[in-house]
Amino acid sequence: MPVTRQIAKSFGADRIANALAVLDRYPGDAIVVDFGTATTFDCVTADRRFIGGSIMPGLRTSAEQLVRRAAKLTATDLVPPRRAIGRTTEEHLQGGILFGTADAIDGMIRRIRAEWPGEQSPEVVATGGLATLIAPLTTTITRVDPDLTLHGLRLAARALRLPA
């Protein structure tokens, strides 16, 4: 994938690494969803073009801000709820945060697919610390690859002939 000056200036190294790695591991069009401080969506085509992406607040970032700003709410463990209609405040938070994030991911993927250049539906690969938590709650994520970013960094180091 050619990393143009515009891409290098505009995107973090993690997003470039994800694009390199997804092209190496999963031939074909792909969307990488990276669950970090921010949740990022990076779009690459089978012909090795980085076509853009989106950024939304990360799950943990959103949860921490909600608890910080709402006086009566306290932090809770992020475990998948059994149902959307919680019975306790803890279940309310878990359902809202986790199902809300999963539905936001599915909504973004549907929008990205609607704008996708070409006929092939892109593979959706999740990575990042919370990928294994959220992916099963979505309908659009097709793979989870926890070490995708590290793989991309290794590829970049090799291309630059740096010790990996």
Of residues 115, 92, 94, 108, the one with CA closest to residue 141: 108
Q: How far apart are CA 104 and CA 108, in angstroms?
A: 6
Query: 46 near 27, Cβ under 8 Å?
Result: yes
Indicate the helix (H) or strand (E) that contains 41. Answer: strand 38-44
Of residues 115, 149, 116, the one with CA closest to residue 131: 149
Q: Which residues are catalytic?
A: 14
In DSSP terms, 41 is beta-bridged to 33, 54
Q: How far apart are CA 42 and CA 30, in angstroms?
A: 8
